[in-house]
Amino acid sequence: MLERITALKVELDALRPLDAAALARLEHYYNVDLTYTSNAIEGNTLTPVETTLVIEKGITIAGKPLRDHLEALDHFDAIRYVRELARSECPLIEAEVRSLHNMVIRRSQPEIAGRYAQVNRYVRTDTGRHTFPSPAEIPALMGDFAAWLAGADSTPETAFTAHRRLVDIHPFHDGNGRTARLLMNLILIRAGYPPVAVRPEDRLEYTMALQQAQSGGGPEQFEWLMYERLESTLREYLHMASTGKQ
């Protein structure tokens, strides 16, 4: 799989630079898609078409919660911010992780946006309750995480490890998954890859893979899923990019 991904990346690089207008259309398409998928995994009820209408037309969808609309607007702004960061040469620091979290829930949950959790967090798993690090541990863990991130190369391996490590720390009361996926995609974009969407149909496998890693079972299942998604996205992106180049 890694060889296939490398070959696809070479093909994509050969198409660059893309026409500015074609690139803008491609990025917008993926920004909306990433917004839909990342929010849907967390329980947002907007469909792909409804998400598009909320973002592009400002339409309110009858019968859908206000929070779902706000989450769509928040994530769309956040992924565009991710692209800005990816194009800069600024190192990824702890403040940027908090900024990503702030942007992804600033309308839907402004009271906790960008703030570390002040209460214990836990999740139910197939092997029992998994408790995340306590609020007192978060600052030190995030400091260590940021130091590692600042020195890590921009590669898919770094992107997927950063995603998993941030979820393991679970520093925020809510929005950890969305923030981790944004951070992952920031690193992928910096490395010249397209951003990866974890789709709603991947939700069970994705959740189980993260829980397996958290329980000491190793990250292999999670990494395999992410590399599968990266290969699939590269193929799709290549097709769309080559069409836009013509």
pLDDT tens per residue, range 6-30: 999 999 999 999 889 999 999 999 9
- At residue 145 the predicted structure's pLDDT band, cuts being 50, 70 and 90, is very high
pTM value is 0.95
Amino acid at 217: G
Helix axes 20-41, 66-87, angle to 10 degrees: 130
pLDDT tens per residue, range 146-157: 999 999 999 999
Please tell me the least confidently modeled range out of 4-18, 51-65, 119-133, 192-206. Answer: 119-133
So what's the pLDDT on residue 159? 98
Please tell me the least confidently modeled range out of 62-66, 137-141, 238-242. Answer: 238-242
Burial of 187 (C-beta count, 10 Å sphere; 0-12/13-18/19+) = buried
Task: Give dist(CA 7, CA 183) in Å, integer.
Answer: 24
- At residue 245 the predicted structure's pLDDT band, cuts being 50, 70 and 90, is low
Q: How far is CA 55 from each of CA 31, 51, 63, rounded to the nearest angstrom?
A: 10, 6, 17
So what's the pLDDT on residue 111? 97
**pLDDT at residue 45 above 60?**
yes
DSSP H or E segment with residue 128: strand 128-131
- At residue 110 the predicted structure's pLDDT band, cuts being 50, 70 and 90, is very high
Q: Are 238 and 12 in contact (CB under 8 A)?
A: yes
Burial of 193 (C-beta count, 10 Å sphere; 0-12/13-18/19+) = buried
Q: How far is CA 72 from each of CA 12, 114, 187, 204, rounded to the nearest angstrom?
A: 29, 18, 22, 22
Return the active site residues.
170
Residues 6+ apart with CB under 8 A from 8: 231, 234, 235, 238
What structural domains and CATH numbers belong to the chain?
A: 2-245 (1.10.3290.10)
So what's the pLDDT on residue 31? 98
